[in-house]
C-alpha cells in the first residue's frame, strides 16, 4: 500500500509590499494533497489500503547563501515556520471500494501559514541556485494498518521487522518565490521628491589646482538636491534637481563666483558578508544559533557547501565582507555637463537679503538595466552587473547613490586669473519594483473544481481562481498586535444626511442641525484568511 503527498499553494509567488517590517506577517495558503493507492498485481485482486496518518506537518523555510573567493561559502537560515495539520488523534485513510481505480484516492488538507514580513526577495548570485531561496516542505508519518492486521501476508517483511520502524514517512517540497514591491496594488505612485541639504566636500589636494577658492567662500555655498522617493528599476530616467545659493556671503565675493560644470553618476554597490552584521541582527529576528548551520544544516544547501563543510577547501586570505561597485549610466553617457560661459549665478544673492533665490538646474539622468562598465575580478562569481532593487539582507545587500560634482570658478582679487574648485557629495537613492497595471498573479489550481467530503457530506468547493487571491492584504492589515481586528481608517464615514421633518428653510438662511453621528459597520474582507491560531484543518476526499 502506498501513500504520497504533494503541496499545492494558492500561488508559487509571495508578494510583499513596502519596507521590510518585522512586526507584520503575510498569508501563505494552499492544500497538502494525500494520495492513497493499492499496488498493482497480475495474479490477485488489489487489496484495500488502510493507513493511519499520525502526523502531517508543513514548513516554510528561507535560506541565504553566498560564495566568493574572498569570503568563501557561508549559509544562513532566514526563517522557519512549521504547523501541524493533523489533530492530536490519528486519522485513518482507506480506499475501500476504489481499489481498482486508475487514479488514487485523494484528500486535501488546507494550510495557512503566517510568513514574516521582513524577508528579503528571492535572488541569485552568479552561481545557479545560490543566493536567497524559499520553499515549502511537507512531511507525513503513517502506519500501514493492513500489514499490522495481516502479518501472514508479508512474511518477508516479518523477518525484517526488528530492523525497521513501524512508522513510515514521506516528504514533498515546493519552491516559493518572494517578491517585494514598493507599493501595494491599486495605490498610485508617489510624485513627491526627497530634498537633501548637503555638506559639500572639496576635492583632495592631489586633484586640486594650486590656486584654490578660499574656504570661507566655499562654506557659504548651500546645495539642495532633490531625488524621487523611489525609482522603478523598469524605468529609463531619473529626474534630479540641484539648487544652489549663497548665504551670508559678501556681495563682492558673490560676484566673483561662477558655476562651470556639473557631473552626475548613478552608482550601485553590492556587498557580500561572511556573517550578518550586528545592526541587522538587532533589527530582524533570525532563528537562534542552534538552528543555524552547522548545528542544523539547511534543508536544501548548494552542492558547494559540501566542499567547505568537509574541510577540502581552505583560503588563507579570508575576508569578512567584499563588495563591488559599478555605474548604471549608459556606455556613451559621461554624466558630465558643461554650463554656459560667464555663469555668475550668485551675483545678486547679497542684494536679496536673508532669502536669496535658488539657482536651479533640472535634468533627467538615463540609466541602463545592465552595466557595461568594467568590474573587478569577482564578476564571474557574482554574475552580470545588472540593476537590482535596493535591499538589505543578512549576507547580501544592495545600495544606490547619486554622486554629484559641482565645479566652481573664482575670480581672484587684483588678478586676471581664476581659481577652480570641485565639490563632491553623494545622495542615497532607492530603487524598487512597482506592480504593473497588467500584471496578474498566476496561481496553482487544484485538479478538480469540486471534491467530496470524507463522511459523505455535500461537496466541498475547491479554492477559487487566482483572481480572488491575487491582492490579499497582509496579516498586519487585518489584525492589530494584540490580536484584535484592525479598523481600516482609509474607508471614509458615510455622508451626513439630516432628517427630513417636512419643513423648508427660507431663502438665504443657514440650515443647521444637530444629531448623533452615524457610523457604518466595518467588516474586514477575509475571503479565506484566518488568524495565526487556526482551527482544525478541513479534510476533503476525492476518488
Report how far apart, in Å, the C-alpha atoms of 509 and of each of 496, 499, 505, 512 are.
20, 18, 7, 9
Residue 375 buriedness (CB in 10 A; 0-12 / 13-18 / 19+): middle
Q: What is the 3-state secondary structure (H, E, C) of 176-212?
A: EEEEEECCCCCCCCCCCEEEEEECCEECCCCCCCCCC
Cα torsion 384, 385, 389, 391: sign: positive
Residue linked to cell 498485481: 41
Pick the CATH number of 2-185+436-470+538-542 from 3.40.120.10, 2.60.40.640, 3.40.50.12780, 2.40.50.140: 2.60.40.640
- The DSSP symbol for 11 reads B
The pLDDT value given to residue 333 = 86
- Which residues make Cβ contacts (< 8 Å) with residue 538, sequence separation at least 6? 109, 110, 460
What is d(CA 226, CA 477) in angstroms, rounded to the nearest whole number?
Answer: 32
What is d(CA 72, CA 68) in angstroms, rounded to the nearest whole number?
Answer: 5
Smallest Cα–Cα separation from 90: which of 45, 11, 37, 148? Answer: 148
Phi-psi region of 248 (alpha: psi -120 to 50; beta: other; left: phi over 0): left
- Which residues make Cβ contacts (< 8 Å) with residue 95, sequence separation at least 6? 36, 37, 38, 48, 49, 101, 104, 105, 543
What is d(CA 289, CA 299) in angstroms, rounded to the nearest whole number?
Answer: 16
Pairing of strands 396-411, 391-392: antiparallel
Smallest Cα–Cα separation from 23: which of 432, 478, 475? Answer: 475
- Which residues make Cβ contacts (< 8 Å) with residue 347, sequence separation at least 6? 254, 255
What is d(CA 350, CA 334) in angstroms, rounded to the nearest whole number?
Answer: 35
pLDDT in tens, the chain (543 residues): 588 999 999 999 999 999 998 888 999 999 999 998 877 665 566 777 888 999 999 999 999 999 888 888 899 999 999 999 988 888 888 877 776 677 888 899 999 999 999 999 999 987 777 899 999 999 999 998 865 555 544 444 444 544 455 889 999 999 999 999 998 887 888 788 999 988 665 655 555 556 788 888 888 899 999 999 999 999 999 999 999 999 888 999 999 999 999 999 999 999 999 888 888 888 888 999 999 998 999 999 988 888 777 655 656 667 788 899 999 999 888 889 898 888 899 998 888 877 788 999 999 999 999 887 655 545 566 778 899 999 999 999 999 999 999 999 999 988 888 899 999 999 999 999 998 775 544 433 333 333 333 333 333 333 333 334 445 566 666 666 666 766 766 666 666 677 665 554 444 433 333 333 333 333 333 333 333 344 344 454 444
- Specify the domain boundaries for CATH 2.60.40.640 within the chain: 2-185+436-470+538-542, 193-274+318-432
Residue 322 · residue 274 · CB < 8 Å: no
Pairing of strands 396-411, 201-202: unpaired
The string of pLDDT tens digits covering residues 183-209 is 888 788 878 899 998 866 565 555 555
pTM above 0.85, yes or no: no
Cα torsion 247, 250, 251, 255: sign: negative
What is d(CA 139, CA 173) in angstroms, rounded to the nearest whole number?
Answer: 9
Smallest Cα–Cα separation from 55: which of 156, 157, 169, 133? Answer: 169
Q: Return the CATH fold of 193-274+318-432.
A: Immunoglobulin-like (2.60.40)
Question: How many other C-beta atoms lie within 10 A of the C-beta of residue 234?
Answer: 10
- Which residues make Cβ contacts (< 8 Å) with residue 126, sequence separation at least 6? 67, 380, 381, 382, 383
Q: What is the dihedral of CA 192, 198, 204, 209, to 10 degrees?
A: 90
Smallest Cα–Cα separation from 528: which of 472, 467, 487? Answer: 472
What is d(CA 285, CA 16) in angstroms, rounded to the nearest whole number?
Answer: 17
Amino acid at each position: 500500500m502506498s501513500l504520497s503527498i504533494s503541496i499545492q499553494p494558492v500561488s508559487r509567488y509571495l508578494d510583499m509590499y513596502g519596507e521590510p517590517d518585522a512586526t507584520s506577517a503575510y498569508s501563505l495558503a494552499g492544500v497538502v494533497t494525500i494520495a492513497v493507492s493499492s499496488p498493482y498485481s497480475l495474479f490477485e485482486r488489489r487489496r484495500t489500503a488502510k493507513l493511519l496518518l499520525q502526523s502531517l506537518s508543513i514548513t516554510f523555510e528561507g535560506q541565504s547563501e553566498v560564495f566568493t573567493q574572498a569570503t568563501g561559502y557561508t549559509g544562513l537560515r532566514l526563517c522557519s515556520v512549521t504547523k501541524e495539520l493533523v489533530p492530536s488523534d490519528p486519522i485513518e485513510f482507506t480506499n475501500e471500494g476504489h481499489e481498482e481505480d486508475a487514479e488514487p484516492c485523494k484528500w486535501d488538507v488546507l494550510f495557512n501559514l503566517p510568513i514574516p514580513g521582513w524577508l528579503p526577495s528571492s535572488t541569485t548570485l552568479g552561481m545557479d541556485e545560490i543566493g536567497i531561496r524559499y520553499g515549502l516542505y511537507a512531511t507525513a508519518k503513517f502506519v500501514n494498518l493492513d500489514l499490522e492486521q495481516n502479518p501472514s501476508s508479508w512474511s518477508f517483511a516479518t523477518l525484517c521487522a526488528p530492523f525497521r520502524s513501524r512508522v513510515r514517512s514521506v516528504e514533498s517540497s515546493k519552491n516559493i518565490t518572494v517578491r517585494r514591491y514598493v507599493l501595494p496594488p491599486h495605490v498610485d505612485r508617489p510624485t513627491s521628491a526627497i530634498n537633501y541639504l548637503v555638506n559639500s566636500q572639496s576635492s583632495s589636494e592631489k586633484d586640486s589646482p594650486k590656486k584654490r577658492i578660499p574656504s570661507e567662500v566655499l562654506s557659504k555655498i548651500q546645495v539642495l538636491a532633490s531625488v524621487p522617493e523611489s525609482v522603478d528599476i523598469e524605468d529609463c530616467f531619473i529626474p534630479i534637481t540641484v539648487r544652489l545659493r549663497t548665504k551670508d556671503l559678501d556681495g563682492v565675493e558673490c560676484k566673483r563666483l561662477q558655476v562651470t560644470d556639473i557631473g552626475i553618476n548613478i552608482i550601485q554597490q553590492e556587498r557580500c558578508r561572511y556573517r550578518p552584521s550586528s545592526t541587522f541582527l538587532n533589527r530582524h529576528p533570525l532563528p537562534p544559533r542552534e538552528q543555524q548551520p552547522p548545528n542544523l544544516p539547511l534543508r536544501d544547501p548548494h552542492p558547494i557547501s559540501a566542499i567547505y563543510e568537509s574541510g577540502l577547501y581552505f583560503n588563507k586570505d579570508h575576508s569578512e565582507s567584499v563588495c563591488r561597485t559599478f555605474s548604471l549610466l549608459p556606455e556613451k553617457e559621461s554624466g558630465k555637463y558643461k554650463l554656459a560661459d560667464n555663469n555668475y549665478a550668485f551675483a545678486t544673492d547679497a542684494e536679496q537679503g536673508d532669502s536669496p533665490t535658488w539657482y536651479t538646474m533640472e535634468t533627467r539622468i538615463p540609466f541602463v538595466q545592465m552595466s557595461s562598465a568594467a568590474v573587478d575580478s569577482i564578476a564571474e562569481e557574482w554574475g552580470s552587473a545588472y540593476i537590482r532593487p535596493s535591499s538589505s539582507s543578512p549576507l547580501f545587500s544592495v545600495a544606490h547613490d547619486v554622486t554629484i560634482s559641482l565645479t566652481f570658478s573664482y575670480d581672484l582679487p587684483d588678478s586676471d586669473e581664476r581659481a577652480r574648485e570641485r565639490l563632491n557629495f553623494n545622495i542615497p537613492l532607492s530603487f524598487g519594483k512597482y506592480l504593473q497595471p497588467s500584471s496578474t498573479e498566476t496561481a496553482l489550481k487544484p485538479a478538480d473544481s469540486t471534491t467530496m467530503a470524507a463522511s459523505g457530506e455535500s461537496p466541498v468547493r475547491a479554492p477559487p481562481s487566482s483572481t480572488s487571491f491575487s491582492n490579499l492584504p497582509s496579516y498586519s492589515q487585518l489584525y492589530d498586535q494584540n490580536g484584535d481586528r484592525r479598523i481600516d481608517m482609509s474607508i471614509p464615514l458615510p455622508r451626513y444626511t439630516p432628517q427630513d421633518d417636512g419643513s423648508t428653510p427660507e431663502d438665504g438662511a443657514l440650515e443647521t442641525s444637530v444629531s448623533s453621528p452615524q457610523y457604518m459597520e466595518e467588516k474586514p474582507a477575509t475571503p479565506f484568511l484566518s488568524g495565526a491560531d487556526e482551527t482544525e484543518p478541513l479534510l476533503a476526499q476525492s476518488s
